[in-house]
Structure 1
């Protein structure tokens, strides 16, 4: 249904659709922007306006939109075998081939794959696998898990409880608290003041060890960590932090679960960031998003030989999803990986990603920009009222949304999250497109700053 069908898509959506993370008051007033088509890094709305999508869909359109060979692969598989369940003892070609390919790409002995429907269900499955594995290993009390503040791990009941990002825990919902614990985020910008990065890292590791001792080493079964905390503000950890946290996990028989739903499949120039970017060998990697570049919904929980071996025997693994190992989704993921390999997109992402860091760093000179951070094609600008104290602007000013609106009016999409503006463009972005992002975002920030000052808000 396109704009020329005489159907008012925006009105139908407004009347009937409940969007993820809906803010009812503003949605009732403004409705949704209707996107009609996409190609590469660009989107067009129903009025024909073009936008450079620096959000990358939702951290996911890695190979870019509009790929004919992806559409052909999806169509061919749908015609050949549109569905086949993978419960108990049934499989299909694309699912088997993809599981083997993921085992090849994953680091170390992560040779086993449990397919899911997306990132949330991959993390949810890992959460269940922690208790299952520990029980199989004879450690039946090790059901508790530890995660970090400012983390986002999904939106199922379990995963939204494991995450702890400001704005996710609404009073109208209930959350699981028993058996889920949190420690500080490795946020160098907010936490380092009179101590060095190394001292901050020492404190974070000590806090982790203290939390394990508080809960009980015989009770903690897993630690969940995004290599770079994505929706929590693109938080890059201090040097050596993840390796040291993994060492603590090994000492206490705690599984290290790397949430690579965002960082996997090229965002940092690697198939997976845990080992190649941070030198950490996880016990479990959870992935989705870039696994199919958003062309089909699919996720995967990739786990070690050690976990697989412990689970063997006369027992059932009673967990899974109707659409796990979906042949069409797996065919899309295989074609997506083939394109990334053939076009050397990991190298391109690393190269253009470094340029992206360089171009955005100049924004730190702006009075409103407190911090420009991230790595390669995963970046964020944090707006502040005072660059010295790092004090935030009042929430009601909604500075991130103001900046994204100003950018959108100039043909650029960046993602607003409170006082943050986040970017995760497709891996195929070019240097000239990076220039457009940096220049347009600068104009948007300047425009919003000028308006805030005119309205009497002190900025600087």
Structure 2
């Protein structure tokens, strides 16, 4: 018998070792290699409610909500029990063709109940990126089934984010995401202007800006042809692209154009869904738009287990079911995963039982008001957002809205200063973004705003000392 090689020894790890292990072996999403070499990663080891604790025992209020996702808060025993019980009962089931499982069937029915209009069909995915990927492919399938095989083009917006698969990242176009080392699909994908009222041309009112945005879409349809454009995808509020709330009436007018030209409207609600701005879904409740499809993830399980879903209309399902091939050849090994679906069901139950949607609306309105108090700071150009989806945009000159040079790195410096004071906010470009759990209290909001104000003031002083000019 051949002797078995002895396993590598595993010395007992001390808390300070985890950061070194991470740096030696892990590649992070959106890792910045030079930044990672300069800074020791923050190693989180525990979480409870809105608070997280690192390996040194230091606690932080997580105003980022993980990555827009810890909606019901961390450390929920009943979530852990639901996940554990389902793992013992049925840890996995084949989701393909004609096999399902009871949590997947129940969650599909609940999502159909919560979604607006006739969005009664659900395709489970592994997350938001794969939900968007599926939605874009479904556009082609739907139109082909109806006898329009050339109607496959997708329209998106500048500075949008729709995921990180090859197709979903090609559809999105956020500043900083397009790098020369990667290639992206360009054929059949069109990008319209970002509907950012803060960055609109100075000579336009917000209403005039809205008119121009809608006219731009009309011109694209005329140029490319309605016979080629199959779908339009939009986040109701552009999240990672800068908490962009579009001008009044913009989304509804874009939707009406889609209806007029038989273009499917895909609402990317991966962030806005499940209570982030006080609704199960924001499209109809907040913006008066009845989408043909909704993509969701994140708050669907509050980040306890990965799960995404594409919710789509009966009309789309009926058309696809009558298509020539008879097969929908898209899906995932972990579609409708029973443990993930059990987590989704328990998550929705908690949100309903504890009234987290109205709570988010109430505390979110308070957060909006309190955060506006930072508008007077010299570094702050804009404070914007809705309910529990907010950001501060930093500028060099409040009058011209000019940005600081990238080397100033002010948003990361602000987030670092916040971290030193027990607060986590997210730096994205020249923004500091907040999307806390829906359970956050008004007292915790006060801590967030007061800490962020101190951090901005400290960084402003540092920038002036270093010779950066602030208008």
Match among 339, 343, 349 for residue 328 of structure 1: 339
Residue 31 of structure 1: how far off its partner (Å): 3.7
CA contact (8 A) 2:393 2:432 kept: yes
CA–CA distance in structure 2, aligned partners of residues 2 and 405 of structure 1: 32
Check if 1:209 corresponds to 2:215: no
* Distance in 2, Cα, partners of 1:128 & 1:122: 10
2:140 to 131, 137, 140: 131
Aligned residues of 2:16 and 2:55 also touching (Cα < 8 A): no
Query: Contact 1:51–1:411 at 8 Å: present in 2 too?
Result: yes
Q: How many equivalent residue pairs? A: 460
Distance 1:84 1:206 in 2: 49
User: Counterpart of 2:47 in 1: which secondary structure?
Assistant: strand
CA displacement at 1:29 relative to structure 2: 2.8
| 1:56 alignment partner in structure 2 | 65
CA distance in 1, matches of 2:11, 2:269: 35
Structure 2 residue 29 is the aligned partner of structure 1 residue 37: no
Structure 1, residues 343-374: CA drift from partner, whole Å, max 9, x if none? 00000000000000000001111000000000
Tell me if the contact between 2:236 and 2:251 (Cα under 8 Å) persists in the aligned partners.
yes
Q: What secondary structure sits across from 1:275 in the alignment? A: helix
Deviations 1:377-428 (A, max 9, x none): 0001000000000000001111110110011110000000111000000000
Q: Does 1:90 align with 2:99?
A: yes
Q: Distance in 2 between matches of 1:341 and 1:433?
A: 22
Tell me which residue corresponds to 1:286.
295
How big is the shift at 1:3? 9.2
Q: Say yes or no: does 1:375 pair with 2:386.
A: yes
DSSP 3-state at the match of 1:209: helix
Name the CA distance, whole Å, in 1 between partners of 2:439 and 2:355: 10
CA drift at 1:189: 0.1
Cα displacement (A) at 1:5: 5.3
Name the residue aligned to 2:112: 103
Q: Distance in 2 between matches of 1:247 and 1:340?
A: 32
Task: Specify which of 390, 399, 405 is matched with residue 410 of structure 2.
Answer: 399
SS at match of 1:74: helix
Q: What are the residue-to-residue correspondences of 1:321-360 with 2, within 5 Å?
A: 321-360=332-371
Match of 2:312 in 1: 303
In structure 2, do the counterparts of structure 1 residues 221 and 409 end up closer, same or farther at CA, with 3 Å as the change threshold? same
CA shift for structure 1 position 6: 6.9
| Structure 1 residue aligned with 2:251 | 242
Following superposition, the deviation at residue 7 of structure 1 comes to: 7.9
Please list the CA deviations of residues 195-225 of structure 1 after superposition, one character each: whole Å capped at 9, or x if unmatched: 2111111110000111111211100000010
Asked if the contact 2:15/2:56 (under 8 Å) is kept, the reply is no
- Structure 2 CA distance for partners of 1:340 and 1:3, relative to 1, 3 Å: farther
Give the Å deviation of 1:35. 0.4
Q: Give the secondary structure class of the aligned counterpart of 2:162.
A: coil
Q: Structure 1 residue 27: deviation in Å?
A: 1.0
Q: Which residue of 2 aligns with 1:272?
A: 281
TM-fit CA distance, 1:30: 2.1
Tell whether 2:468 aligns with 1:457.
yes
Q: Distance in 1 between matches of 2:451 and 2:40?
A: 25
Q: 1:167 to 1:219 in 2, by over 3 A?
A: same
- Provide the residue aligned with 1:22 in structure 2: 31
Per-residue deviation, residues 321-344 of structure 1 (Å, max 9, x unmatched): 000000000000000000000000
Give the Cα separation in 2 of the matches to 1:444 and 1:385.
16
3-state SS of 1:18 partner: coil
1:151-184 C-alpha deviation (Å, 9 max, x unpaired): 0000000010000111101100010000000000
Distance 1:139 1:414, change over 3 A: same
Q: Distance in 1 between matches of 2:359 and 2:210?
A: 31
1:190 matched to 2:190: no
Check 1:350–1:3 CA distance in 2 against 1; reply closer, same or farther (3 A cut).
Answer: farther
Deviation at 1:28, TM superposition (A): 2.3
Matches within 5 A, 1:134-149: 134-149=143-158
